[in-house]
Amino acid sequence: MTILLFFIVLAVLILSHEFGHFITAKKAGIRVDEFGFGFPPRIAKFKKGETTYSLNLIPFGGFVKIHGEEGQEAADPRSFASKSIGVRSLIISAGVIFNVLLAWILIIGGFSFGMPTSVSSAPEGVEVRDKKVVILQIGKDSPAEKAGLLPGDRILGYENVDAVKEAIESRLGQAMTLNYQRGEENLTAELVPRENPPPGEGAIGIAMDEVGTVRLPVHRAIWEGSIMTYHVVVGTAVGIYNFIAGAIAGEVGLSAITGPVGIAGIVGSAADFGFVYFLSFMAFLSINLAIINIVPFPALDGGRLLFLLIEKIKGTPVSARISSIVHGAGMALLLLLMLLVTYKDIVKLIS
């Protein structure tokens, strides 16, 4: 079931992104030769009108083959190369825009069905229902980790976070029992709160918050969904920038990246917590896909926008040969990185 859900999420995110490129190019009067899910070799195809729709073997991506996208046939009015830099920039950016729009729609849906929300950050004047104390983070090698607790577990028997803290502090250095809920299952953890924990971790090594469900009418869901989407986009952009800066400085390695296998596991966990959690996680992934794609790296949308900026500055397009080589090399590096991260995820899963 987890694998099926993962491929459903992957299909929705990729098709949304590529449909953005596809429909914008079509509206601009450009010929679209192929709309592909996954990367070649091709498994199946059918043709409708002038466009071939294909299913390809490597499922971690997709593409839209636009006539003249590498700068050729600029004299053809139905070629990508014949259009202004503004139109071409919009077509390249459309995939990112559609991923953000998808996330916005999913978040609106989440608020309409009942969005899990921190009580402290709930919209003003809105009732928060079914409040629970939820574990957000687990410290490495902490009593909580050794007891088997996981982020997302709901602590039972306490009204709020302060009550949990008081109970833990009253048992420093002594064994205590913590009842919690994971999915639909009620479980028990036996642990000993530390008297002298590492700085910032707390006695059992958890970060927690009081979380409830907020359900909004559609008009309010649209407004609050817009605010949340904005904050997630900004937060994701900052996070990815910090990751890239850390990688360049040698402070971050491949262990900080979760690949397709790892994401598949998280998709399954999100679905176990409920439909709205699943929608929220899909929205988060969609925004991540959008921000990553706008990074100015060859083969990504951001890399192609960078080439248009170079064209704008120098007054002439980058040669089709150079563009093809650079973006081809970028794609090869991305696929290699994907293989390395996938291998890492599989090794972690086995161990």
Q: What are the catalytic residues? A: 18
* Residues 99 and 16 sit within 8 Å (Cβ to Cβ): yes
Give the C-alpha separation, 335 to 212, whole Å.
Answer: 40
The answer to whether 55 and 42 are in contact (CB under 8 A) is: yes
SS3 159: coil
Residue 63: strand pairing partners: 36
Q: What are phi and psi of 109, to 5 degrees?
A: -60, -40
Residues, the chain, total?
351
C-beta separation of 87 from 10 below 8 A: no
Instruction: Please give the distance of CA 169 from its chain centroid, rounded to a whole number.
Output: 37
Kindly list the distances between the CA atom of residue 22 and the CA atoms of 66, 104, 111, 297, 316, in Å, as whole numbers in the listed order. Answer: 8, 20, 30, 21, 26
Cα–Cα distance measured from residue 24 to residue 307, given in angstroms and rounded to the nearest whole number: 19
Q: How do beta strands 129-138 and 115-118 pair? A: unpaired
Q: Which residue carries 């490495």 as its tokens?
A: 140
Token duo for residue 33: 């030769």
